[in-house]
């Protein structure tokens, strides 16, 4: 019987992999459902087991079975791992994803957990520290330091919480890992439990990920005897973006409204139900089995500067080769977009890429020389975040993208702090005025604003023009205080961004200025100003 491998990942199913799998089953083949390899342009992908190894075909449909089985199909790819998109990768965390049945527990070796349990808890924490692993959820905080704090805090009960509330647009690595290799995450959480003395853990998954929820629940049930006495359960979030913030997530697990807590106390000292809690992202915890199985040095040997190990980069948007690309830190942004991503799907020039989700900075091609590294991006006014890259071609309107960031924050704000709750709404209004002003002709200012009989405006003062909202200001003490000239509104917007950046309680309000300010800095012509002078990309 011919054996074929077909992904059951949610993205693959959306592209028709279920129908393809059913067609091969009807043809008498043994169908093994796997996670996704991570290159969506070739999904639905079928790999046929042959004497030469697994030979891939994609994209394919249910009517292609006969041509695939006799080897004549035009979309024959050969060995998938030899394709340039995969051959350049360094798959530490996603080594099994797309290769094995995610729920085949017999094929999973648990080497990392076995190694950890042969070590003292402090030695496990030391190994994680030595690996240089930093939080992959966005903050980049050293994972070993967080674990050390929980280990050192005396308590009768501690918890491990996995943040799987992957809410950034253009990101999907957490979902892919949970659907494609759930035992890897479970093993990482069990290792964390051993390291800090926690007996129970929660995987908090957003409700928009039904496949991941189902796969994780089934995998936890299968793995119960392997990780005992450590226990795990899945909690499903309702989809609020702010619940990706760690303290709002803890409130949600406790059955409260997902709202950000003021820090201190840190969750590592007083977290879930007031107990010391390790809260890490999916990718952080899933990196741990490799570190314990292969050694901290093997992990730390890859990377760039203080950013050690690999990063699963998610390439999305208007791009030819969208998908997941795991690689050591240090690869340049230009390599990821132009060489790995293949440029835009539309064939038009790349105008901007947004790195780090909806709250990440927009970067023009003149910044493509930047190495993918926490410090390099911070110095350039950006952030890596969850390593999502969204590509835009030259038809994008950057002023409207800046407006989207403010609107996103206004919709998703938990409402607890004023800079985020009110600032985002005022930001939308200010950008709307700037966008509206772009279409208006710039007329010379008219001198001598004079109030006529009954409060009617007889003429306009210096710096004011018809349509600048002067009429609306007639009831105020000084019409000039409401100067709505474009430059004034841009200055107001920058001031508002500073207030949000430094005054917000969490990253939602604090990071929203990144896309707004970067759009203003790099694409001023979209706000009615002169184009920025960019250095030529090397």
Cα–Cα distance measured from residue 169 to residue 317, given in angstroms and rounded to the nearest whole number? 10
pLDDT band at 449, cuts 50/70/90? very low
Give the fold, CATH level 3, of 3-88: Glutaredoxin (3.40.30)
Look at residue 485 in the predicted model and tell me its pLDDT: 76
DSSP code per residue over 18-80: HHHHHHHHHTTPEEEEE---SBGGG-S-EEEEETTEEEEE-S--GGGHHHHHTT--TTEEE-G
Domain boundaries, the chain: 3-88, 105-300, 309-389, 397-441+478-537
Please write the tens of the pLDDT for every residue from 178-211.
999 999 999 999 999 999 999 999 999 999 999 9
pLDDT interval class at 533 (50, 70, 90): low
3-88 with 309-389: one CATH topology? no
Q: Is the pLDDT of residue 50 over 80?
A: yes
Kindly report the CATH number that applies to the domain delimited by 397-441+478-537.
Answer: 1.20.1440.230
What confidence category does residue 428 fall into, taking pLDDT thresholds of 50, 70 and 90? very high
Q: What is the mean pLDDT of the chain?
A: 91
Instruction: With both helix axes pointing from N to C terminus, report the angle between 513-522 and 398-412 in degrees, rounded to the nearest 10.
Output: 170
Lowest mean pLDDT among 125-139, 244-258, 413-427, 439-453: 439-453
Sign of CA dihedral 200, 202, 203, 207: positive
Q: What is the pTM of this model?
A: 0.88
Question: Which three-class secondary structure state does DSSP give residue 204?
Answer: strand
335-338 long-range contacts, CB within 8 A, separation 24+: 336/372, 336/389, 337/368, 337/389, 337/391, 338/368
Query: What's the distance, Cα to Cα, between the start and end of the chain in Å?
Result: 53
Please answer whether residues 205 and 125 qualify as being in contact, where contact means their C-beta atoms are separated by less than 8 angstroms.
Answer: no
Query: Could you say which DSSP state residue 275 is in?
Result: S
Q: What is the CATH number of domain 309-389?
A: 3.10.20.600
Give residue 482's pLDDT band: very low, low, confident or very high (50, 70, 90).
low
Q: What is the CATH number of domain 105-300?
A: 3.40.50.11540
């Amino acid at each position: 019987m011919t054996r074929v491998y077909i992904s059951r990942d949610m993205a693959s199913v959306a592209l028709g992999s279920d129908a393809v799998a059913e067609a091969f089953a009807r043809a008498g083949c043994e169908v093994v459902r796997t996670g996704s390899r991570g290159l969506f342009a070739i999904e639905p992908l079928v790999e046929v087991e042959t004497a030469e190894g697994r030979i891939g075909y994609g994209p394919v449909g249910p009517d292609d079975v006969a041509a695939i089985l006799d080897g004549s199909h035009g979309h024959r790819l050969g060995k998938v791992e030899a394709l340039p998109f995969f051959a350049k990768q360094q798959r530490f965390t996603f080594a099994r994803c797309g290769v094995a049945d995610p729920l085949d527990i017999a094929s999973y070796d648990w080497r990392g957990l076995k190694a950890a349990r042969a070590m003292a808890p402090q030695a496990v924490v030391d190994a994680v520290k030595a690996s240089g692993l930093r939080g992959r959820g966005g903050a980049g905080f050293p994972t070993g330091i967080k674990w050390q704090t929980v280990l050192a805090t005396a308590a009768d009960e501690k918890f491990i919480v996995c943040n799987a509330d992957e809410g950034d647009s253009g990101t999907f690595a957490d979902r892919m890992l949970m659907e494609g290799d759930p035992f890897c995450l479970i093993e990482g959480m069990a290792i964390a439990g051993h390291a800090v003395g926690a007996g129970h853990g929660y995987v908090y998954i957003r409700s928009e990920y039904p496949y991941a929820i189902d796969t994780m629940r089934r995998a936890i049930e299968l793995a119960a005897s392997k990780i005992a006495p450590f226990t795990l359960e899945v909690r499903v979030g309702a989809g609020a973006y702010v619940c990706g913030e760690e303290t709002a997530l803890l409130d949600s697990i406790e059955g409260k409204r997902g709202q950000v807590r003021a820090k201190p106390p840190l969750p590592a000292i007083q977290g879930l139900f007031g107990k010391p809690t390790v809260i890490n992202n999916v990718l952080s915890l899933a990196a741990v089995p490799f570190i314990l199985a292969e050694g901290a040095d093997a992990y730390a040997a890859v990377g760039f500067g203080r950013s050690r190990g690999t990063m699963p980069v998610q390439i999305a948007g208007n791009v030819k080769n969208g998908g997941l690309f795991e690689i050591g830190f240090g690869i340049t942004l230009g390599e990821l977009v132009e060489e790995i991503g293949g440029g835009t799907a539309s064939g038009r020039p790349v105008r901007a890429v947004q790195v780090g989700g909806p709250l990440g900075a927009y970067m023009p091609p003149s910044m493509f020389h930047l190495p993918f590294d926490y410090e390099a991006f911070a110095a350039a006014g950006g952030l890596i975040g969850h390593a999502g890259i969204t590509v835009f071609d030259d038809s994008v309107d950057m002023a409207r993208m800046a407006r989207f960031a403010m609107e996103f924050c206004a919709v998703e704000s938990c409402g607890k702090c004023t800079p985020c709750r009110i600032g985002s709404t005022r930001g939308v209004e200010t950008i709307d005025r700037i966008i509206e002003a772009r279409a208006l002709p710039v007329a010379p200012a008219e001198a001598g604003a004079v109030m006529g009989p009954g409060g009617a405006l007889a003429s306009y003062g210096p710096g004011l023009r018809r349509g600048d909202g002067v009429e609306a200001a007639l009831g105020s003490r000084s019409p000039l205080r409401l100067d709505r000239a474009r430059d004034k509104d841009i200055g107001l917007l920058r001031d508002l961004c500073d207030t949000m950046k430094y005054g917000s309680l969490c990253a939602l309000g604090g990071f929203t200025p990144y896309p707004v300010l970067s759009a203003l800095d790099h694409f001023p012509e979209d706000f009615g100003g002169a184009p920025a002078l960019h250095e030529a990309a090397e």
